[in-house]
Structure 1
């Protein structure tokens, strides 16, 4: 026979004491609440003093409890903040990368616009302009220095025509195709340009070296003194280049021959203006018609 489990309250003294204690606490709490309510009505100053005393006693405990709660919440909050900041940082990096690309393109467009405006001003002043073209490539790995234009015979470009950029002289056309032209650059060893110094008009010669620089040579038998910064422009001698186009600057001091740098730097070649020769070669005069041989009167009989 199985004895049933007796779950009544009186079965355990511990449970009896617990129930009794809960009753005592409930009755005491109700009594205290009633006394405080009555006190707040009959003597508000005393009730206020008691309330502040209790507050002074419980404030440290409440502060400690609040600090412990904040400390417990700080860990999850820090983890959440880390992931949020990490995601925001990644988003900002993507935006910066996109903005950097846009900024680079904007700077490139701005640079091209400045160069084109400068070239247009040159074209407006040049009565011999043939066509504006882009320098699509240039050689830099050998002693021979050429550039390639994206304009040729269909645009009126012919061998021997001068080529200049927004900054100064670039060279001359040596070969042409239908839509392309080959330009001999000033730094090529075969390039020779008659020039004059701007500050006193003394003539000189600018010859290419093949290494990115040029030689500025004196044409005076007495010798010529060069100083750093001397600017040389085309003189018009020879009839190919119009006078006054910037060509080179001296980068050393010396006599007879010094090293110079072209005003139009090869690393900035982008847009170019092809011009007609300053003094075109005169066309050859037509040959006189042949004179018929004189007829013999005796043979006519």
Structure 2
């Protein structure tokens, strides 16, 4: 069998000429590269001018690329910062709300400490109280004005004992249980307290009006000497309430006295002191004398 002849790759003359040209150019390029490499190794500073020129040529394009990168980075940083700021603001607002709650609690504790310190000053300066307790409730729908105390007979509380705060008198014990007691407030219509004006000896009775105020009825009728702003304190008459405990301040004048606003508001009172009777022997003597003459005396020492 005859052998098949393989056709050469460069069949035409043009193709053979093109391949030869490529080889020649590649050889010349390799030779030039070798020469330049040799020169750069023997004399490194020989092409410094060319390198500088090339750098100058590409420098504007490098600046544009750098600005573009910086701008893009800034945009992404701003977007990230915006979202971080939103979450940060939410956290700060929550912290502010918590701080406000803590501040309110701290102020409440501060006010309670002030009230307790005021009570301690009372205890230090006067007779020892029978008990310190909270006012835990009061009547709201009845014409009677009665509060409830978180102390009772087990704490030494007895019927008739005065109840007060650092600001003044609140009332007297009306009934006693084992661990609680009822307090007849000064504003109850059945409450009558002997009082006097704090600056002199103008005597009166403070009678409850069931509306949060008391009626100050003068003993000696005639020209009304009272004026708005006068402060009335307990007189000590009757032996139940010790003298000089604040009761009320005049807010409105009447024909036979004045209307008084209580200095110790039970609605704004937390802690109270239960005190012993001022002069129990004198009160018992007065009660016996009045009972022999016309019947029992009121429990609060009124005449």
TM-score normalised by the chain length of structure 1: 0.71
**CA 1:58–1:169 in 2, change beyond 3 Å: closer, same or farther?**
farther
SS at match of 1:189: coil
Aligned to 1:272: 272
The number of residues matched between the two structures is 255
CA displacement at 1:179 relative to structure 2: 0.5
**Residue of structure 1 equivalent to 2:229:** 229
CA deviation string 1:223-268 (max 9, x = no partner): 3232221111000122211110000111235553332211112232
* 94-103 vs 110-119, greater mean Cα deviation: 94-103
| TM-superposed deviation, 1:123 | 1.8
Q: Structure 1 residues 80, 141: CA separation in 2 closer, same or farther (over 3 Å shift)?
A: farther
- Distance in 2, matches of 1:146 and 1:90, equals 49
Q: Does 1:134 pair with 2:150?
A: no
Within the candidate set 274, 277, 282, 2:284 is matched to: 282
The verdict on how the C-alpha distance between 1:114 and 1:269 changes in structure 2, with shifts beyond 3 A counting, is same
Structure 2: which 5+ residue stretches go unaligned? 1-8, 10-14, 289-303
1:292 aligns to what?
none
Q: Which residue of structure 1 aligns with residue 116 of structure 2?
A: 116
* Distance 1:65-1:178 versus aligned 2 partners, 3 A rule: same
CA distance in 1 between partners of 2:208 and 2:273 (Å):
21
Q: Relative to structure 2, which stretch is displaced further, 254-263 or 172-181?
A: 254-263
| Aligned residue number for residue 100 of structure 1 | 100
What corresponds to 1:144 in structure 2? Answer: 144
RMSD: 3.5
Deviation at 1:141, TM superposition (A): 4.5
8 Å CA contact 1:225–1:255 kept in 2: the answer is no
Provide the residue aligned with 1:262 in structure 2. Answer: 262
- What CA distance in whole angstroms lies between the structure 2 residues aligned with 1:62 and 1:265? 82
Q: Secondary structure at the match of 1:261?
A: strand
Inter-partner Cα distance in structure 1 for 2:150 and 2:214? 26
Corresponding residue for residue 206 of structure 1: 206
